[in-house]
Amino acid sequence: MKFWHKVLLFSLINSLVFNPNYLAFANPEIEIEPETTLTNKIISSGAIRVSVSYQPPNFDNPESMDDRNFSYQIFYNNKKQVEAKDFTMMTGGVTLKDLDSNGTDEVIVRTFSGGAHCCTNFIIYTWQDNQFIKTETGFLDGGAGNFEDLNGDGKSEFLTFDNSFLYAFSSYAGSFPPTIIYTFNNGNFEPVTRNYPKVLRETLQQMYQSIRQGQKENYEVNGVLAGYVAQKILLGEYEDGWKFMLANYDKSSDWGLDIYDSNGNVIDQYTDFPTALKAFLIEQGYLDKNGNPSANKK
């Protein structure tokens, strides 16, 4: 793997996920590290109190490893409302932070599955109607994403990227997925990606630089171009993005051209990368069934 692409991939994931400010450490939090052992450690904010226990995996004796090594209890006004067990590998944590600016902190639980290129889940508990409502991001690549108030309204947006683009037209290191942004409102994630063109353009510029660097190094570019076209769709500039892709794609690469049936068997092959990319963008909802930019992709 060329050095530039190691740096590129690390930079992408680091900027979106392993950012030490991803939840603003001024908030009450418990951070799990590889050697951490916790027994009923407490954090609290207002009426909310959380008790956390964690036992690190024993790699010397894999058979003894607990698949529920991370447990927590959530209290509201000293009454237990939630008791849960989960698994996390060497990292994770619990943070109290008001994501929706309603005056009451959410309980944000972060778990990591372990494994190369995998996977973090955020579990969020919101106090509504005298109970905690549970919402999950689902397992996403790397650290999944980060929470940040992008428009200064006091509410946190969740910045992540479209995992479906990883490996689609190149190796993991050669992929550069488009941006996804959600706002957190009333216990739900709502897509608002198109509302933040400045953020989209900053990532688009990184994609452009990666393509040019990849061309200099004779490295994979189709995986970055796929994300580039999708990012241009989100900015309302599909035709410009498509023309750029046509002028710059690697015609010698056959990565992503295979067509599969429902059982995962190869049944055919697309003629070239642009044809395969258009089908993929339709499948992922960036283009409608007629190949035009989809207004539903937010």
10, 16 contact by CB (below 8 A):
no
Both tokens assigned to 143: 């650290």
Tens digit of pLDDT for each residue in 6-23? 445 434 544 444 443 444
Supply the pTM of this predicted model: 0.85
Backbone φ and ψ of 56, nearest 5°:
-65, 150
CA 75 – CA 77 distance, rounded (Å)? 6
Please state the domain extents for the chain.
1-22+154-298, 23-144
CA 12 – CA 267 distance, rounded (Å)? 34
Tens digit of pLDDT for each residue in 14-54? 444 444 344 444 679 999 988 889 999 999 999 999 999 99
DSSP for residue 103: S
Backbone φ and ψ of 245, nearest 5°:
-60, -45
| 23-144 fold | Lipocalin (2.40.128)
Name which of 48-62, 90-104, 194-208, 283-297 the model is least confident about.
48-62
